[in-house]
Structure formats: C-alpha cells, structure tokens
Amino acid sequence: MGKLKIQHRCFSMFIIYFFIMLPQASSLSQTRLWKNTGQDDGAVHSLGNGKMCVYEQGPDIIKIYSSPYSAPSLLQMSLHTEKPAQIRSTREPGAAIWTHVIFINGKKAGAIVDYVDAEIPCFVRHIQTEAPLAFQLTLRDYVHVIDNSHRFDAKKQQGGLLLQTAPGARIYQTYTFPGVMFQQMAWQGAVSVEHAPGNEQNYTIRIAPGESNLYFIGGPEYPQTITNTGIALSLSHAAMLQRTRACWQRFTKRRIDFKQKLPADLPRRQKLLQTIDDVSVMIKTQQSVEGAVMAGYPYPLGYVRDQYGVACGLLALGYHQEAKSILNFYWRIWQRYGKIHNAQAIGVDGIFHIHENDEVEITGYLILQAFDLFEKTGDAEFISTIFPMLEWAWEAQKKNLVDGMLPFNGDETYVAGGILPRSTLNDGSAEATMLFIDGGNKLLDWVKKHDLWTENVLAENLKILQKTKSRYRQNFWRDGQLLTNNPQRAQLIELPRFRHGVCERFQENKDCEMNRLGGICWTERNENNRYLCAACLALGPYPAVAPKAYDLISVSLLPLWFHSSLFQQKELAPLVNQIVRNYKETGSLHSRQDSAAAASRLVGYDYGLLLYALTEMDHPAADELYQKTLSIVDPVGAWAEYYIDDKPQGTRCRPWESAINLEALIKYVCEK
C-alpha cells in the first residue's frame, strides 16, 4: 500500500511539474479527444524540426519521416489497451510539443510528452505512468532489425534496436530511396520490447509504471544515426525539452502579433488566435531544412502548387524567411537540373514527381510566388538571383499556348479529387492561362525595368502576352461565368501520343495495373483520345468522352485571389453573388454546381477563396463566411484536403488548404 501511495504521489508531482513548466499563455490551447472505442475524428497533427517530421493521430504515430523529409517511413506505433481508453491531447502554445493525458477505464493512468528535438533528427516520447502501458509497433516490410543493445548501458535501463532499410525502399508511389537508410529506436527506463506473435515485423513495447523515454533517431546514414543516438542519450529529457521549447519560442516571436492587431470585439477572436498559432506551427513542422513544405503525411515531397498557397499564408503571418526558403528550394534544384516538375524530393537528389503537362500552371505559380515575396519584402536582389529560373518558367509556358490557351497540370487538386475529369487535361485551362497572363505582367515589367532583354525580344514577348490576354474572355468567359476549361484547345492540336501521369481508367475507379505500380506511370493515347497505361491499353477499346465545359467555384474565385488584371470587380460580382446564394440555400459549398456525384465534394480551400473574394468586395456575406470558415477547422487547428457536407475527407493536417483559409481569415479581420 505504501509503495502505491509513493507511485501515485510521484505521478501527481510529475503532472504538477509539467504544467508549471508550460508557458503561461495557456489560453492558446485546446484539447483533442481520442478514444479506442467508437469512431475517432481522425484529426492528424505534425511534429518536426526540418530534419525529422512525425505525424500522430492522438497518441498513435502514423508516419515518421526521419532525415531527410523525402525518406521512407519505417513504422507505425499505436497505443494498445484491452480496456476502454481516452486520450486528451494538447499542444503547448507556440510549439510542436504535445501532451497526451491517458485515461483507462475512466481513471487517469499517465501522461506522454511528445516532441522532435530542436537540433537533431530525434523524436522523443517521454512517458510517466502509474499503470502498465503497451504500444504495438509495426515495421514496414522493407525494414530489417539489428539488435545493437550492446551499445547501451543496461545499468541505466537503456536499450535499443537499429532499423535498417533494404536498398530501394519506397518513399512514395514509384519513387525509391537511393540507398540504405538507418533509424535507431532506443529507450531508457522501465521499457521492454518483444516480438508480437505471428509477424516478425510486429513488436509490443511495454511500459511499466514509472518514468521512461522512447527515442526514434534518424541519420539517415549509419554514422549519423549512431552519432545522433549518442547525443540524444547524453542529454536529459528536461534539457532536450528546454532547448526545443526555446527554439519554438524564437519562431513564434517572429510572427505578427495578432493579439495586438485583432479588434477586441471580434467574434470568435480567441478561436482565430488559436488557429493562427495552430497553423503556424503545423506549417513549420512540415517545412524541411531545405525549405520545402510537405503536402501532408501521404506526400513526402515538395509540390509547387501546394507551396504557393503555403507561401501566401506564411507572408500573411509575417514569416518572410520561411516563404523565401521555399523559392530557394526550387532555385537550388533548378540550378542543378534546369527544370522543376510538379513535385520534387526533399533532401534526395534527382527525384521528380512528373505529372501531365508539368510545363504549365506550376510554372505560372512559381513566377507569381516570386513577385508576391518581392511585394512584401522589396528584396530585388533575390529576384535578380533567381531570375534565370523565372525566365525558364515563362518560356516553358509559351511552348504550350494554343489559340491563347494553356492546358491543365495533371495534379490539380480538383483533378486528383475526381471533381474535374482527367479527360479534360489537354483542354484550355482558365487557371493556368490566368497565371501566365498575371505572372507574365509582373515578369515582363521586371525585365523592362532592369533592361534584361533586347528591345526586339521584349517586344515579341509583350506581343504574345497581349494576344493571350485579348483572347482570354473569348476562350473562358461565357454569359457572366468563368469556365474552368475550354475543350476547343484539345480539338485544335494533335494530342501527344504519350504522357506521364495517371491512367484514365484508374482515375475512373476501374481495375488497373497502375494501382500496383503506385498510381503514376507512362500512359499512351488510344483511338478515342483516352490516356491508358500499357496494361489497360492491352484490354481493348475504352470509350471516348464527349467534350464538356465545367464551372468550378475554385477557378471562378481565383481572379479576386490573384488580384487579376483580367477582370474588374463589378464584372465578377454577379458570379460571386450566385455562389453565395447557392451556399445559403444548401448551408455548405460544393466545388461543382451541377448534379454529378462529384459535385458534393468540396476542395478544402474553397471556403477561404470565397471569404477572400467577399472581403475584397466588402460583401455583407463576409461576416457569415468568416464564421463558417473557422467552424470547419478540426480539433488540432487544421483544414483537410476535401470536404463532403463540411465533413473532412482525404488528407488531414494539410499546409496548402490551411494556409489559404487562414490567409483569408487574416485578410477579413484586418480589413473589416
């Protein structure tokens, strides 16, 4: 009985000690509830330091990308209890430091503190419990385990297993890591690790009552992994936590002080402040030391389009350094390879995620992103430095112009989500063409101001830009509506025989060999102008698709978000008013305004785009959309990839959607 009282007193003292250590800005914190019974909300949060990125769902680890960010995730780990368990997870204000308080059968059993160390690629899980806990560890099939426990001091209750990948372990889809990588799992305290029966890749980690630490330490090479392990075990948890907290405090202090900026009587002011902090930390954890920001836990790559939206959010938050780092990431890759694709590996040379028509749209975003940064910082020297890349991005787009129209990039959010069919990719794209025009205006103004081209070359390019601009309305503007696509472009050219991307049969949820290959490969055009992988092409005819023009609200709202020179605000007002009327009738947005099944799905940033447009127009519905946009943020302060009837779908913890929505919220409150 005396021993039990001592343990209970130690646990209570730990809880008191931990909460004393927290910064006093506890008003900026919210609790995410996780249960092992019933259906969980599914919200995912991220932890990271630019060298290692960890994704959790409550107390469960779903991915660890350990140095670099584009590396195979080796494991998953979940809390395992036979009795009903509830976890109350809270993020420390201004930091990616999470505390999970554990209740088993309704009684408090312990607490977990999770963070990635500020300096080395090391995820730390500090556990204080008065009841036995167990975690199920599942290793990927390409992971080999080496028992290197001889390196650890048994007298200090230390132990470890070294994880090693086979050569060519998969990072994502068909892209593999170019060598062997290592990750050290280590522990200190009352921890035992044993094989789970029936599967050599499954382990059970048992935590006895008391205080323990689990570590997952990256390299990725063997010498780095062993060196980093030595550093981690030489430091106390308190020391690592202290330097990690200090690092996060420095980051948070660089943000615009919205507490001072927001009106005191602003509705849901505290919720907005919380969300600003949540999104700031979420983006930073997913930004690598190379500068690229991941697109969420399934996508360990740097996507151009996603990172444009992220940069907009970073600039709105005052994080100019982080926004510039994204462009520096592209610049280094372009210097080495002379090209940028839809997405590029982070910290791994030479891996490009190639989609259909990578010479358009993403290249337009690249130019626009550079000049967005310039408008905020006035850093002319940086634009001059990266100008060769911007010039390349302009030339790449020009090659794809047909009758004043550019096609779609194949990894559009609404294409990938099935809202716009992949059969439209060679149609004219209102978005890609708008980017060409508005980015071109800025680029050619820069060229003229700095006398970078000869008069003849400049005049020739201005003529191309003006011709494209003069054709825009005829190509995409119909009866007061901005068409998303124009099928005429595909009818004016001989379509390419091959393209690298997604099989249209696979996109339409048919059985397809591409699924086994990871979803991306070479496709070939059949007699009906459908692009199929080799296996599907061999199955015989696949039917043609009748040309059709679509109207997506995402694209309709872009002119106001881009501050496009193509339209006056009064021209767009009826279009925006119709979107608002549809919203008021249904209570939610739908990316497509027709009756198709895909129409019920909403792209995750559409609420933000609408709020931004309404704010630009000083529209009375802006107040309601401000409330609505905030209302769908999840329990960890993030927006999702898609929504159906305002319920999150697809990838959670998304920097791109979250940044755009937050930018719109900030614009609304600052211009209200």
Q: What is the CATH number of the domain that holds 205?
A: 2.70.98
Greater model confidence, 513 or 599: 513
Q: What was the pLDDT predicted at 516?
A: 66
Average pLDDT of the chain? 92
Q: What residue ranges in 52-198 does DSSP mark as E strands?
A: 52-57, 60-66, 75-79, 85-91, 98-104, 107-116, 122-129, 133-139, 143-146, 158-165, 170-172, 175-176, 182-188, 191-195
Residue 529 CA to residue 422 CA, distance in Å, equals 12
pLDDT, one tens digit per residue, over 595-635 is 554 557 899 999 999 999 999 999 999 999 999 999 999 99
Q: What residue ranges in 281-402 does DSSP mark as E strands?
A: 301-303, 343-345, 352-353
All residues at 6 or more sequence positions from 116 whose CB lies less than 8 Å from its CB, including other chains: 47, 48, 49, 52, 53, 54, 96, 122, 123, 124, 244, 285
User: What does the pLDDT average to over 125-138?
Assistant: 95
In a domain, 14, yes or no: yes
Burial label for 235, CB within 10 Å (0-12, 13-18, 19+), is middle
204 with 262, same domain: the answer is: no
User: How many CB atoms lie under 10 A from the CB of residue 395?
Assistant: 12
Residue 303 CA to residue 364 CA, distance in Å, equals 14
Domain count, the chain: 2
In a domain, 293, yes or no: yes
297 with 174, same domain: the answer is: no
Output the domain CATH number for residue 302.
1.50.10.10
In a domain, 111, yes or no: yes
198 with 314, same domain: the answer is: no
Residue 308 CA to residue 314 CA, distance in Å, equals 10
In a domain, 583, yes or no: yes
Range with lowest mean pLDDT among 390-394, 428-432, 498-502: 498-502
Judged against a pLDDT cut of 80, whether residue 319 lies above it is answered with yes
303 in Cβ contact with 341 (< 8 Å): no
In a domain, 620, yes or no: yes
Query: One-letter amino acid identity for 370?
Result: A
Final residue before a domain boundary, out of 185, 214, 232: 232
157 with 209, same domain: the answer is: yes
Greater model confidence, 660 or 12: 660
182 with 328, same domain: the answer is: no
Final residue before a domain boundary, out of 232, 266, 281: 232
Beta-bridged to residue 531, according to DSSP, are: 525
DSSP, res 196:
P
429 with 574, same domain: the answer is: yes
Query: One-letter amino acid identity for 213?
Result: N
Residue 161 CA to residue 203 CA, distance in Å, equals 11
164 with 275, same domain: the answer is: no
The edge-to-edge listing of strands for the beta sheet with 642-644 is 601-603, 642-644, 647-649
User: What does the pLDDT average to over 6-13?
Assistant: 43
155 with 216, same domain: the answer is: yes
Residue 217 CA to residue 46 CA, distance in Å, equals 17
265 with 227, same domain: the answer is: no
Structure tokens at 28: 């900026």
Q: What was the pLDDT predicted at 518?
A: 65
Q: What was the pLDDT predicted at 305?
A: 94
pLDDT, one tens digit per residue, over 243-282 is 999 999 999 999 999 999 999 999 999 999 999 999 999 9
8 — pLDDT class (breaks 50, 70, 90)? very low
Greater model confidence, 590 or 135: 135
Final residue before a domain boundary, out of 232, 247, 272: 232
20 with 115, same domain: the answer is: yes
In a domain, 73, yes or no: yes
Which CA distances in Å does 254 have to 111, 247, 311?
31, 11, 16
In a domain, 632, yes or no: yes
Nearest to 475 by CA among 428, 515, 529: 428
In a domain, 495, yes or no: no
DSSP, res 458:
H
339 with 222, same domain: the answer is: no
135 with 192, same domain: the answer is: yes
Residue 619 CA to residue 575 CA, distance in Å, equals 13
Indicate yes or no: pTM above 0.75.
yes
Range with lowest mean pLDDT among 38-47, 289-298, 503-512, 568-577: 503-512
All residues at 6 or more sequence positions from 137 whose CB lies less than 8 Å from its CB, including other chains: 75, 76, 77, 193, 202, 203, 204, 205
- Containing structural domain, residue 662: 258-487+547-671
- With a pLDDT cut of 70, the percent of the chain lying above it is 94
28 — pLDDT class (breaks 50, 70, 90)? low
Q: What is the DSSP string of 470-538?
A: HHHHHHHEETTEE-SEETHHHHSSPPPSEEEE--HHHHTT---THHHHTS-EEEEE-TTS-EE-HHHHT
Residue written as token pair 């008069």: 455
